[in-house]
Amino acid sequence: MAHNWGIIGAGGIARTLAAALKEASGAELLAVGSRSLDKAKAFAADHGAARAYGSYEELLADGDVEFVYNALPNALHAEWTIKATQAGKHVLCEKPISVTPDEAEAMFDAAGAAGVVLMEAFMYRCHPQMARLREIVQSGEIGDLRVIRSRFSYGLSDLTNVRYSAPLHGGALMDVGCYCVSFSRFIAAADPVEAYGAAVFGEQSHVDESFVGTLTYADGVLAQFDAGMSFAGMSNADIMGSKGHIAVPVPWKPGDEACFTVTVGGETREERVPGANPFSLEVENIQAVATGQAEPIVGREESIGNMRTICALLDSATGHRSISLP
């Protein structure tokens, strides 16, 4: 029998996840909760959900909902994830999991106390491309790892978007720089020891609209990234080693088949990694974790470590100084 899902927040990414639930095996969208009942009803009709609620509380009180997808703005992730876990639901919470590392710890503690699974919805990590990239790096094929470089940016002119909201903890670093931080930490397989960030804050929005970050790792690895929401979009990643490098043209939204190149000694080969819709893969992963059949692809320590790094970068950019990480 399929697992029953409920979505809180009937916004943009919720529509993507609702579509992905149809592709995922063993998942069914049962209910949607919105601040507006009319909006919930329209969403439910569009996506074939049987139940629509005019509040998030009502959805959490529905005893038939097993998994909650938290698709709310960043500032509301902790509050509603904790409430969902206390209602006995497994939670797939959108990225970034919280807005501080302390919040992230409290969220995982709440899930642990309730005996439910919490996972951050870093869908790109669930595509097998990421595991394959780390495998190649750890095989030594490109020599010793030296520099990880990544980019994620887009142009967004609508200043009413949640990404331009300081109270909701928008900003380029929280929205897309978080992918670059996650990518760097995953490929380096370590926590950085120092973070340096530089940002341009919007005059009206007061959020970082352009962000450039540098991370230093203990074993001589450097990571650098740029993230932006107010310039022409560009997304890719490069992994450079002492003997070769890997170029990843589609790091964040790979589809049914990901493709990247590995260059060693002047010879370039192409790798193709079969996968699937990464949103469906994250749904299948959390369901497998909840039924004791898998480990979470994005686990507690990874999510908390990402938040620690993100917050150090933001502190660095606001304080114009580098920040040492424990």
Query: With CB under 6 A as the contact rule, which of the stretches 6-14, 107-115, 187-195, 234-242 interacts with ligand NAP?
Result: 6-14
| DSSP-derived pairing of the beta strands 323-324 and 257-264 | unpaired
Residue keyed to tokens 């995922």: 24
Query: With CB under 6 A as the contact rule, which of the stretches 29-37, 107-115, 130-138, 208-216 interacts with ligand NAP?
Result: 29-37
Query: With CB under 6 A as the contact rule, which of the stretches 34-42, 216-224, 268-276, 285-293 interacts with ligand NAP?
Result: 34-42
Residues β-bridged to residue 279 = none
| C-alpha to C-alpha distance for 223 and 155, rounded to whole angstroms | 24
| The only residue of 31, 59, 72, 188 in contact with ligand NAP, by rule CB under 6 A | 72
What tokens were used for 273?
């990694």
Nearer to ligand NAP, 13 or 166 (CB): 13
Tell me if 284 contacts ligand NAP by CB under 6 A: no
| The only residue of 30, 49, 66, 74 in contact with ligand NAP, by rule CB under 6 A | 74
Total residues in contact with ligand NAP, by rule CB under 6 A: 22
Tell me if 34 contacts ligand NAP by CB under 6 A: yes
Residue keyed to tokens 């097993």: 66
Nearer to ligand NAP, 71 or 195 (CB): 71
Tell me if 134 contacts ligand NAP by CB under 6 A: no
Cβ distance 67 to 7 under 8 Å? no
Question: What contacts 122, CB < 8 A, 6 or more positions away?
Answer: 95, 179, 182, 282, 298
Q: Which amino acid is at 318?
A: T
Query: With CB under 6 A as the contact rule, which of the stretches 8-16, 99-107, 202-210, 239-247 interacts with ligand NAP?
Result: 8-16
Peptide bond into 101 cis (omega under 30): no
Which backbone phi and psi does 13 adopt, to 5 degrees? -70, -25
**Residues found near ligand NAP in the complex (CB under 6 A):** 9-14, 34-36, 39, 71-74, 76, 94-95, 121, 123, 162, 168, 175
